[in-house]
A = this chain, B = another copy of it.
Amino acid sequence: MVNIGDVARAAGVARSTASYALTGKRAVSDEVRERVRLAAMELGYTPNAGARALATSRSNVIGLLAQFLPDEFAPAMLQYLQGVTDTARDLGYDILLSSDADGRSALKRITDSRMVDGVVLLNVAEDDDRLPVLRAAAQPGALVGLPRDCTGVDVFDLDFEEAGRTMVEHLARLGHRELILVSQPEHVVERGGAYVWRLQNAALEAAAAKGITLHTVFGAATQPDIGRDLHALLDAHPSATGLLLNNEAAAAALPTVLRSRDLDAPADLSVIGRYSDEFARTFSLPYSSIESAPDRLGRMAVRQLVRRIEKQVPEGDPYVVRFVNPELVDRGSTAAPATRQ
């Protein structure tokens, strides 16, 4: 394999000069630079990543810790991955992917061995056990998901409170007085998915403020259970005119449920979901929804992480907690209320 010594010899200069010519870290005469570049080109020289990492203590690799949970929806996860990998590549970084169930040890391994310059954590739970490991690491970290304690890391998440308010207020404005909110199953909440509470509590507050009745329930995350749940709900609250879905499985199951009850959205029932546009397309869901923007969140996390790695953060490097504003994508599934059969 050709190394920088070979290039230097071919160009008739010292190894250090070849290095400076290629990295541009010191001034080199135009003539020498050209000669070195040419030699490198002709010999097909590519710097050895390990050697460079050893010398610079920078690997140009970002660690990505994801957890492929069985009740997490695959399309959304893939969008996170895509947002992260694409952005990293644009900024000159490669991605080391870990989907290890034991995120703690994986994180410790890749940071302690200096394989990565920084880390992005996905699926961050309220009391995520990877956080202590991350704080002890020498490298910076960016999270997607809001933990209880945000010190020492940059955090990015959807503004679930605003999402809850938006859903309720949108239907309130149309004249609805009784709504149902279907959340993720309880075990997601127990695992630390506090965003479920954040959305639900904000929705309840908004409903109270408007004098609206809001029934809240946890739905199953799997078919056909969630279908049964939906049927039971519609039976239990015959006068409700709006359905809010913070539960992707519920959204995917709803078309079938509505058809079998011979109901139409929005004629008989107004519906608003909370999922990504990609998700809506995959399942061809006709419901308006709060865009959860996984690709965007992944992109933001990597951007900030790289800024921190490259020390481009302003003085005193204040850690950020940034919420993406929920955007309501109108797919025409809401209208003024009609009394259901």
Binary B-proximity of A34-47 (CB < 8 A = 1, otherwise 0): 00000000001011
Residue A48 at the chain B interface, CB threshold 8 Å: yes
Given that A51-B54, A97-B97, A115-B94 are known contacts, is A46 also in contact with B78, CB under 8 Å in the complex? no
Flag if B86 contacts A47 (CB, 8 Å): no
Residue A150 at the chain B interface, CB threshold 8 Å: no
Question: A94, A223, A252, A278: which has the most chain B beta carbons within 10 Å?
Answer: A94
Flag if A100 contacts B89 (CB, 8 Å): yes
Flag if B68 contacts A82 (CB, 8 Å): yes
Nearest to A252 among chain B residues (CB) is B283
CA distance A48 to B44 in the complex (A): 28
Give how many A residues have a beta carbon under 8 Å from the other chain's beta carbons.
54
Flag if B53 contacts A109 (CB, 8 Å): no
Residue A292 at the chain B interface, CB threshold 8 Å: no
Flag if A47 contacts B256 (CB, 8 Å): no
Flag if B85 contacts A49 (CB, 8 Å): no
Interface residues in A48-94 by Cβ distance below 8 A to B read 48-54, 59, 61, 64, 68, 73-75, 77-79, 81-82, 85-86, 89, 94
Oligomeric state, in copies? 2
Question: A51, A74, A95: which has the most chain B beta carbons within 10 Å?
Answer: A74
In the bound complex, residues from chain B placing their C-beta under 8 Å from that of A114 are: 1, 48-50
Partner of A78, one of B1, B68, B253: B68
In the bound complex, residues from chain B placing their C-beta under 8 Å from that of A79 are: 74
Partner of A64, one of B48, B73, B97: B97
Flag if A112 contacts B46 (CB, 8 Å): yes
In the bound complex, residues from chain B placing their C-beta under 8 Å from that of A256 are: 255-256, 259
CA distance A99 to B79 in the complex (A): 11
Interface residues in A93-150 by Cβ distance below 8 A to B read 94-100, 106, 109-110, 112-115, 138
Question: A1, A49, A85, A259: which has the most chain B beta carbons within 10 Å?
Answer: A49
Residue A224 at the chain B interface, CB threshold 8 Å: yes
In the bound complex, residues from chain B placing their C-beta under 8 Å from that of A222 are: 281
CB proximity of A249 to chain B, nearest CB, Å: 9
Residues of chain A whose beta carbon lies under 8 Å from any beta carbon of chain B: 1, 44, 46-54, 59, 61, 64, 68, 73-75, 77-79, 81-82, 85-86, 89, 94-100, 106, 109-110, 112-115, 138, 222-224, 252-253, 255-256, 259, 278, 281-284
17 more A-B residue pairs beyond the given contacts A51-B54, A255-B256, with a C-beta to C-beta distance below 8 A: A1-B138, A44-B112, A46-B109, A48-B113, A48-B114, A49-B53, A50-B51, A50-B54, A53-B53, A68-B81, A74-B77, A74-B78, A78-B78, A82-B99, A223-B283, A252-B283, A259-B259
Can you list 21 A-B pairs with a CB-CB distance of less than 8 A?
A1-B114, A1-B138, A46-B109, A46-B113, A48-B114, A50-B59, A51-B54, A74-B75, A74-B77, A75-B75, A81-B81, A89-B98, A89-B106, A94-B115, A95-B96, A96-B96, A222-B281, A223-B283, A252-B283, A253-B284, A259-B259
